[in-house]
Chains A and B, each alone.
Chain A
Amino acid sequence: MRSRVIGCALGLSLAALASGAVAADKVSDGVVKVGILNDLSGIYSDFTGRGSAVAAQIAIDEMGGMVLGAPVELVAADHQNKPDIAANLAREWFDQGRVDMIADFPTSSTALAVMEIARQKNRVTMLSAGVAMAAITDKCSPLSAQWMVNTYALAAGTAKALLKAGRKSWYFVTADYTFGHSLEKDAAAMVEAEGGKVLGVSRHPFPGGDFSSYMLKAQGTGAQVIALANAGNDTINAVKQAAEYGIGRSDKQVIAPLLTYITDVKSLGLAKAQDMYLTEAFYWDYDDRSRAFAEKYFARMKRMPSASQAAVYSAVLSYLKAIQAVGTDEAGAVMTQLRSMTIDDAVIRNGRLRADGALVHDLLLLQVKKPAESKRDWDFYHVKAVLKGDEVYPKPSDACPLNAKG
């Protein structure tokens, strides 16, 4: 993989020389370099991993591999979900590697570490997979953008839509650590604000293992919604074991995982996942534009892109377009340009980048299809509603100093 990337880059730089383009002094070091920092081998590698680098390459190819006459290069590395490794890699990339922007960060702690370094070194970070609220509240940075979504919007999206459909009584099955708690808190606040009622909570140790106990308890309360405030294998096991006991199979009681990627649904299979409600920032089969991008991706990866992989594409594309428009790759100028643009591409719709770094855009409320309704592999979702960004994103927080000015 690495040799291919290097080969690609080499080819592109040769092309740049051959065309005789004056690699303008507008671009620092004569090259625009994009870094993808994520989990290439661990628990988040399915929805980020190598696929994210492929998505970035698609965006670069669409720009013709050049911006302002300078070649665009791509590097990728594994941060192993450890903030110290991420910080070291980022320093090396900024200091010696001439990297101008780093994207992805499936683990929020790595994102927060690199955001701070990038800010000191005047470079850009784009969190396509990092969803923590801290990135747009107390740890916000003028040179960072949270490109896909945050936990509040995901929880609020699903909660609001289900409440509107008259599902007022809720039960939470929550992973017992910060992430699960904040997901539960945001969704529960929404439930109570809209006149619903939280009937109970089971907070399970992380990782969970056997969820049948919690799911049966949830079923016993008669709650109309069993919300899963956890992620990854915990969500998968909870749904799988609920199916075993026939929980969530009637319209009276539905299961709503608050953070789910299409890769989780793929792994569960439709027989187990059917009828669940969830919110995602992107679904490949949404319309012609999203399908066109997804087909390009599929041709290289033999899988459909997850929302965060798709968000990498959008982030890199928007970043390069902003450089093109503003005529320099200086971080501050590029960010100002990004904030003034309307982001509208194959992945992100009606996007507007806020001062605090939140990219407010349309999200999709989805319901998992029944096996009989799915016509092909990866044909997984009914799009139930398009959720307007302003309705589901959190209000700018006072904890972020960048919000104070405006």
Chain B
Amino acid sequence: MSDITLQAFLAQLTIGLIGGCFYAMLSMGLAIIFGLLNIINFTHGAQFMMAAFLAWIGLTQIGPWLGQPDLQVNFWLALVLAPALVAVFGMAVERTLLRRLYHLDHLYGLLLTFGVALVMEGGFRYAFGVSGQGYEPPEILQGPVDVGFMLLPKYRVFVVVASLLICLSTWYLFERTKLGAYLRAGTENPRLLQAFGINVPVMITLTYGFGVALAGIAGVLAAPIMQVTPLMGGSLLNIVFAVVVIGGLGSILGAMLTGLGLGLIEGLTKMVYPEASTVVVFVIMALALLLRPAGLFGREA
């Protein structure tokens, strides 16, 4: 492996960054939900998958279903609509099911969301099979762009820019605005916040919806890269959970930086010894738990 050129190195690093963007978006959503609801959201992967499927349905299926073959929900619309729909679905689950579990141990929320995820995956599998569906990126983002050291598909450049924007604005919203302050106060002392006239239950529902919407955006962004299959979220989720644990449960900035960092590390591992590319994430998780049990960015309790 001594023959790695600088060019190849940069190329692999870039690919790692793209993976890291997905980890960052997904783990931020998880961190937000855990931080404010104390729920370990195992439905996250299924919600990611659902958004990708909605985008695909919008692009290829909805026209024929409605008898109007020309009708299409394009990528840009899907990027807004699909996460919104998934968020509404998520909020319905929160209102009807999750809400009943807040006073119980974390484990119950975990089991419930895991069950919901299985039902969702099963439903999509039944309806659309398992081999999956292809989703074409919009025409303007097709083809490669020369970034100096490699030919990078335009769409991947777009993914990096879009997800960094989304991550940074989410961080800003939660850590630097008044709304964010309310949300954080809601986790510290919901009763006191309620006394100030804030409707805490609605706030919690909306927060869950927001976390789910982040998964949804990631899902739509992933549709042109990965085959859209019922299983696409499940396999990603394990790593994303590791990211959240390393970053510190509930830390939004931690989730984002860890996500990007692990993407890069994974990319480099793929170059040197691909067999270990998944394992390396969990090795880092084990080390982080040993050395800093609250996570790299977590506040020690």
Q: Which residues of A contact B (CB under 8 A)?
A: 41-46, 176, 202-205, 207, 209-210, 212-214, 216-217, 220, 232-233, 236-237, 240-241, 244-246, 263-264, 266-269, 272
> Considering the chains assembled together, what is the distance between the CA atoms of A176 and B129 in angstroms?
25
Q: Are B132 and A213 in contact (CB under 8 A)?
A: no
Measured CB to CB, the nearest residue on chain A to B133 is A267
Q: Is the interface of B mostly helix, strand, loop or mixed?
A: helix
Q: Is the CB of A41 within 8 A of B11?
A: no
CA of A46 to CA of B8 in the docked complex: distance in angstroms? 38
Number of cross-chain contacts by CB at 8 Å: 97
Question: Can you list 13 A-B pairs, Cβ within 8 angstroms, ordered by A?
Answer: A202-B270, A203-B274, A204-B270, A205-B277, A209-B235, A210-B225, A216-B8, A216-B11, A236-B227, A244-B155, A244-B156, A263-B131, A269-B134
Contact A209 B130 (CB under 8 A): no
B80 CB-CB contact with A under 8 Å: no
Instruction: Flag B117-130 by CB within 8 Å of A: 1 or 0 each.
Output: 00000100110011
Interface check B192, CB cutoff 8 A:
no
Whether A233 contacts B134 by the Cβ 8 Å rule is: no
CB-nearest residue of chain A to B239:
A209
B227 touches A267 (CB 8 A): yes
In the complex, residue of chain A having the shortest beta-carbon distance to the beta carbon of B12: A213
Compute how far the CA of A204 lies from the CA of B132 in the bound complex, rounded to whole angstroms.
Answer: 20
- Does B226 contact A237, Cβ atoms closer than 8 Å? yes
Determine the chain B residues whose CB is within 8 A of the CB of A204 once the complex forms.
Answer: 270, 274-275, 277
Q: Return chain A residues, CB-CB under 8 Å to B153.
A: 244-245
Please give me the 3 A-B residue pairs with the lowest Cβ-Cβ distance, nearest first: A267-B131, A205-B278, A213-B270
B15 adjacent to A236 (CB under 8 Å): no
Taking the complex as formed, is B69 at the interface, i.e. its CB lies under 8 A from any CB of chain A?
Answer: no
Min CB distance, B138 to chain A, in Å?
A: 14
Give the residue name and chain of the A residue nearest to B273 (CB).
A203
Q: How far is the CA of A246 from the CA of B153 in the complex (A)?
A: 9
Q: A39: nearest residue on chain B (CB-CB)?
A: B130
Q: State which of A45, A216, A240 has its C-beta within 8 Å of the C-beta of B15.
A: A216
Q: In this assembly, does B236 line the interface, its C-beta being within 8 Å of a C-beta of chain A?
A: yes
Q: Which residues of B contact A176 (CB under 8 A)?
A: 274-275
Q: Is B202 an interface residue (CB 8 A)?
A: no
Q: Which residue of A lies closest to B228 (CB)?
A: A267
Binding site for A on B (CB under 8 A): 8, 11-12, 15-16, 18-19, 122, 125-126, 129-134, 144, 150-151, 153, 155-156, 225-227, 229, 231, 235-236, 267, 270-271, 274-275, 277-279
A43, A203, A205, A207: which contacts B130 (Cβ < 8 A)?
A: A43
| Minimum C-beta distance from B263 to chain A (A) | 10
Q: Is the CB of B267 within 8 A of A213?
A: yes
Query: Which A residue's beta carbon lies closest to that of B134?
Result: A269
Complex contact B144–A45 (CB within 8 A): no
Cα distance, A269 to B131, chains bound together (Å): 12
Q: In the assembled complex, how far is the CB of residue A229 from the closest CB belonging to chain B, in whole angstroms?
A: 13
**8 Å CB contact of A220 from B8, B132, B235, B274:** B8
Contact call B274/A207, Cβ cutoff below 8 A = no
Partner of A41, one of B15, B122, B279: B122
* Distance of B6 from chain A, by nearest CB (Å): 13
Partner of B236, one of A44, A209, A244: A209
Q: With a CB–CB cut-off of 8 A, which chain A residues contact B8?
A: 216-217, 220
Q: How far is the CB of A264 from chain B (nearest CB, A)?
A: 6
- Asked if B134 and A268 make an inter-chain contact with CB atoms under 8 angstroms apart, the answer reads yes
Given the interface pairs A203-B275, A220-B8, A240-B227, the reply to whether A210 lies near B18 with Cβ below 8 Å is yes
Write the nearest CB–CB distance from A35 to chain B, whole angstroms: 23
Question: How far does the Cβ of A284 sit from chain B's closest Cβ, in whole Å?
Answer: 17
Known: A42-B130, A203-B275. A245 touches B151 (CB 8 A): yes
